Amino acid sequence: MGGRAKSSAAIIGIGELKPSRYTEGKTTLGMIAESVCLAVQDAGLEKEAIDGLLVGPQVGETPQHVPATVSEYLGLEPKMSNVVDLGGATGPGMLWRAQAAIDAGMCETVVCVLGNINEKGKALRSPNRNPIREFDVPFGASGANTSYALLKRRHMEQYGSKQEDFALLAHWARKNAQLNPDAIFYGQPASVEDVMASPVIVDPLHLFEIVMPVAGGAAVVITSNKRLIHGCGHAPVYLLGAGEKVTHRAVSQAPDLEHAPLSYAIPHALAQARVGINDMDLLSLYDCYTSVVATTIENAGLCAPGQFGKWVSEHTLGHDGDWPLNTHGGQLGFGQADLAGGMSHVIEAVRQLRLEAHGRQIKDAQYALVTGNGATLSEATALVLGGEA
pLDDT in tens, 155-210: 999 999 999 999 999 999 999 999 999 999 999 999 999 999 999 999 999 999 99
CATH topology of domain 9-120+212-386: Peroxisomal Thiolase; Chain A, domain 1 (3.40.47)
Cα 86–Cα 143–Cα 31 angle in degrees, nearest 5: 50
- Quick: pLDDT tens for 135-150: 676 766 667 899 899 9
pLDDT at 125: 43
Higher pLDDT, 61 or 213: 213
Q: What is d(CA 146, CA 142) in angstroms, rounded to the nearest whole number?
A: 7
pLDDT at 354: 96
pLDDT at 367: 98
pLDDT at 316: 98
pLDDT at 139: 66
Domain ranges (residues) in the chain: 9-120+212-386
Report the percentage of the chain scoring pLDDT > 90: 74
Q: Quick one: DSSP state of residue 376?
A: T
Secondary structure (3-state) at 125: coil
- Quick: pLDDT tens for 335-382: 999 999 999 999 999 999 999 999 999 999 999 999 999 888 888 999
DSSP assignment of 356-369: --TTSPPTT--EEE
The strand pair at 367-374 and 282-284 is best described as parallel
pLDDT at 231: 64
Mean pLDDT of the chain: 91
- Quick: pLDDT tens for 222-276: 999 887 756 667 889 999 999 999 888 778 888 999 999 999 999 999 999 999 9
Grade residue 18 by pLDDT with cuts at 50, 70 and 90: very high
pLDDT at 229: 59
pTM: 0.87
pLDDT at 132: 61
Q: Quick one: DSSP state of residue 323?
A: S
Q: What is d(CA 293, CA 369) in angstroms, rounded to the nearest whole number?
A: 13
Do the beta carbons of residue 340 and residue 216 sit within 8 Å?
A: yes
pLDDT at 126: 40
pLDDT at 128: 42
